[in-house]
Structure 1
Amino acid sequence: MPSHRRMLIAVVAGAVLGALANALGGGAPWLDVAVRDVAQPIGQLFIRLLFMLVVPLLFSALVLGVADLELRHLGRLGARMLGYTAAVSSIAVLIGVTLVNVLGPGRGLPDAVREAARGAATIKPAPLPGGDSVAGFVLALVPDNPVKAAATGDLMGLIVFALLFGVALAVTDTPGARTLKAALQGLYDVSMKLIEGVLRLAPLGVGALLFVMAARLGAAVVRPIAAYVGVVVLGLALHQFVVYSLSVKLFGGMSPRAFFSGVRLAMVTAFSTASSSATLPTALRVAEENLRLPRHVARFVLTAGSAMNQNGSALFEGVTVLFLAQVYGVELSLGQQAIAVGIAVLAGIGTAGVPAASMPFIAMILGVLGIPVEGIGLVLGVDRFLDMCRTTVNVTGDLAAAVFVARGEPAEATEPAAGVPPAP
């Protein structure tokens, strides 16, 4: 059975059984035992498995994402790509954060329901780096011991160290550095294999988490989930058709109509596979044949972008974090929301281009901001559909970035290979 069908069955079963248990046995001793001693430990185990893989996956993905840019040899293209990625990803997250604050999909829960949701938290969140002061936070970005930072949950410091390490690795061309890069690639591959194994347990873990939430909250949990899905889809649509249209028109000199007509095959492939990496061959084809982009630009930008330019994932992560903060009644100041935006942008760089790869990073952001990580069970149930939507935005963003970077490159490189028909 396909994984998304197993996930759907688990979501329905967990929610329905939890709601029935809440309606028939609310406050009964047997329900407390079922939640506390059976379902909750299973859900906690799934969350802990995700947390276990955050550090190796985050470090290897960020280092390789920066090192693969080969900054010493491709300085101009790399600088334009990095600048575009940071700017557009920030816009994506700001769109999502604004929609969550204005529409409030997680607001409106009764106080009793919210208290029950808060009572589900059993994993201790990581402390906010540097306390509440701006100076302390800035200093905490540079860890005095990166191993200690990883061990104590200071993942902000680990992110900064990984980015600096990746830049240094990109400009170091020695046999030892190449061996180290190969070793980090091996660490990344192994981490992704472990993630794949953990996600095989996702139906059981998600079903257990939803059972716990529904058994404690009852049917009141349905409305905020539906509102959350609507906010994510609205944010992704605005970014896809407004931001990218303005980007290719103003910075790429291309008609938005021609752009979206040329990339429609890549968009369909991305939506069906929910994987930027799996869509890469199709994206390269439409970039060279339909958009007439220089081959070296298309290969560089799309290859790097499939791992780094994850605008849709960054928007999704920002919306998810603020939505769960509203569900659990955690008031985030503007400074904390700015921190969430910054982490989501950086996490978008480190998010792998495979299905459900955002989840470990969302769990990390929740822990940093003190939001109960068990709430991730609410969004995992609808993640498959949202993953397909955000992957489409990610791939379209890679192609829009290629249009921007290609502007000003030699015109003769834009011609497609002779005898190759354009992609449909």
Structure 2
Amino acid sequence: MSQATRILLALVVGLAIGIGIAAWAPSAANAGIVIAQPVGTAWLNALQMTIVPLVVSLLVTGVAATAEAARAGRVASRALALFIGLLWSFSALAAILTPLLLGWFPLPSEAAAALRTALGETPPVGDIPPFSEFIASIVPSNPVAAAANNAFLPLILFTLVFAFALTRLPAEPRLLLTKFFQAVADTMLIVIGWVLWLAPIGVLALSYVVGAKAGTAAFGALLHYVLIISAIGIIVWIASFPIGAIGGRIGLARFVRATAPSQAVAISTQSSLASLPAMLRGAEGLGVPVATSGVVLPLAVAIFRVTGPPMNLAVAIYVAYWFGVPIGPVQLAAGVAVAAITTMGAVSLPGQISFVTSIAPICIAMGVPVAPLGLLVAVETIPDIFRTLGNVTMDLATTVTVSARSGEVPETEGDALLRA
């Protein structure tokens, strides 16, 4: 049984037990909550303790890898510029679309209230600072204090400055520091692996509390969450088709046919890396030279997760919607920035790990509680399908776009048949 299946099963069992005991023996359900709640909270705390060192180390190594790729040549530099532009654009799009979707398809107020009660009321956010104070607070006077206080936006800014400065060092000290941070990241991933091995226990405890307090409303609320977050991924996936057709100067139908095999692999494996051979064949069918696809596609698989920022930001906005946390332009701007930047540190991480490490910084930067993430990670399996589907299709779209913008004229279908 896969880890994702074990976690999902623990969620369903915990909800069912909590709902059943609350209906038949309320006093016993309350006694169970006293035991389950600290167990779930301890597991969630264990996940959170790895976030700061992991995000910092992955961001440093991600910037270093990106700088190395940019030095590789003109094709890699153009690909990186396109990647960054798309990551920020879709992050901003999610900041607009998610509130609209929640307005058009609202979660029933009774379910939202039940979940707030089950997950615990969030502390008041306080007054929203003026924009001038927000800008001033981005630059940390003490990066250690920023890390200790979970001030992620200032911490990320300092880490980016540090990482870009590292790329200017001579080769020997640059390699030494990069290896150090890679070792820190690898160590944290081992720790997270241990914590996630215990995930069925933590999720079972958290979902029991939610089921006992929220009742059957919990199932409907989680389904609503899955549909909203998946919708953002579907929008990114659909957008990849005109981007590939227009950017690559090819017919839309041809691009759809060429991407179909890699999309089938993406759905079945939920892995961009596993889809790479199919993507390379698709790029060849679109007339992209191997010299270009052999650079752009591996680079895209390594550092370009286009669905990550919009879907991660959508999760943070959804949690704020659950808890009634006011989200203004300043909070959305902070969320967009953190979402777009931290995706560079989500290199080749399993879905359950990247879910927590990528979304928690966004939530913290926006003043949104992170406690629900321990429950939501259990239903990530379905949104993760659309994450991978959008990533794989956009990888091919950017590859044909870079090829066309580099002056390489894609083969027509007739040329391809003659060559074959």
Under a length normalisation based on structure 2, what TM-score does the superposition of the two structures give? Answer: 0.86
Give the counterpart letter for 2:48 in structure 1: F
Pairwise CA RMSD of aligned residues?
3.0
**Conservation of the 8 A alpha-carbon contact between 1:270 and 1:391:** yes
Per the alignment, residue 182 of structure 1 pairs with 179
Q: 2:290 aligns with which of 291, 295, 300?
A: 295
Unaligned runs of 5+ in 1: 416-421
Query: Are positions 1:337 and 2:335 aligned together?
Result: no
5 Å-filtered alignment, 1:346-361, equals 346-353=341-348, 354-356=350-352, 357-361=354-358
Structure-1 separation of matches of 2:277 and 2:190: 22
Q: 1:419 corresponds to which residue?
A: none
Partner of 1:150: 147
Contact 2:70–2:76, Cα closer than 8 Å, also in 1? no
For 1:348, the aligned partner's letter is T
Counterpart AA for 1:119: G
Q: Aligned partners of 1:269, 1:405: CA distance in 2, in Å?
A: 23
Distance 1:413 1:217, change over 3 A: closer
- Residues 332 and 342 of structure 1, relative CA distance in 2, 3 Å threshold: same
Q: Which residue of 2 aligns with 1:57?
A: 54
The yes-or-no answer on 1:409 pairing with 2:406 is yes
1:355 deviates by 2.3
Whether the 8 Å CA contact 1:270–1:392 is kept in 2: the answer is yes
Gaps of 5+ in 2: 413-418
Paired position in structure 1 for 2:265: 269
Q: Which moved more, 1:358-367 or 1:293-302?
A: 293-302
Spell out, residue by residue over 1:396-419, the C-alpha distance to the aligned partner (whole angstroms, 9 max, x if none): 22222222222243649999xxxx
Per-residue deviation, residues 3-44 of structure 1 (Å, max 9, x unmatched): 233123212101111212332344x3x4333213x2112211
1:380 aligns with 2:381: no
Which residue identity does 1:154 align to in structure 2?
A: A
Cα distance, 1:180–1:115 mapped onto 2, change above 3 Å: closer
| Aligned partners of 2:70 and 2:77 also within 8 Å | no
Q: Normalising by the residue count of structure 1, what TM-score does the alignment of the two structures yield?
A: 0.85
Q: Which amino acid aligns with 1:159?
A: I
Aligned pair count reads 408
Q: Provide the rounded CA distance (Å) in 2 between the counterparts of 1:290 and 1:178.
A: 38
After TM superposition, the structure 1 = structure 2 runs for residues 23-102 of structure 1, keeping only pairs within 5 Å, are 23-26=23-26, 28=27, 30-36=28-34, 38-69=35-66, 70=68, 73-74=71-72, 76-102=74-100
Assess if the C-alpha contact under 8 Å between 2:271 and 2:388 holds in 1. yes
Distance 1:98 1:197, change over 3 A: same
Alignment of 1:112-127 (within 5 A): 113=114, 115-117=116-118, 119=120
* Equivalent-residue separation in structure 1 for 2:189 and 2:281 (angstroms): 26
Q: Distance in 2 between matches of 1:45 and 1:316?
A: 27
Structure 1 position 173, deviation (Å): 4.0
Residues 131 and 137 in structure 1, CA contact (< 8 A), matched pair in contact too: no
- Equivalents in 1 of 2:388, 2:333: separation in Å? 24
Match of 1:219 in 2: 216
Residues 307 and 350 of structure 1 are in contact (CA less than 8 Å); yes or no, is this contact kept in structure 2?
no
In 1, distance between residues paired with 2:209 and 2:356? 19
CA offset digits 1:357-389 (Å, max 9, x no partner):
122221232233332222124422211121122
Q: Is the 8 A contact 1:51 1:364 kept in 2?
A: no
CA distance change for structure 1 residues 79 and 321 in 2, over 3 Å: closer, same or farther? same
Shift of 1:317: 0.8
Contact map agreement 2:286 2:410 (CA 8 A) in 1: no
Instruction: In structure 1, give the amino acid aligned to 2:191.
Output: L
What's 2:415 paired with? none
- Cα distance between partner residues in 2 of 1:266 and 1:162: 35
Runs of 4+ more than 6 Å apart:
412-415
- Return the letter of the residue paired with 1:189: D
CA distance in 2, matches of 1:278, 1:112: 41
In structure 1, what is the Cα distance between the partners aligned to 2:276 and 2:56? 23
Amino acid at match of 1:8: L
What is the distance in 2 between the residues matched to 1:359 and 1:376?
A: 7
Equivalent residue for 1:396?
393
Over 3 Å counting, the alpha-carbon distance change for 1:293 and 1:233 in structure 2 is same
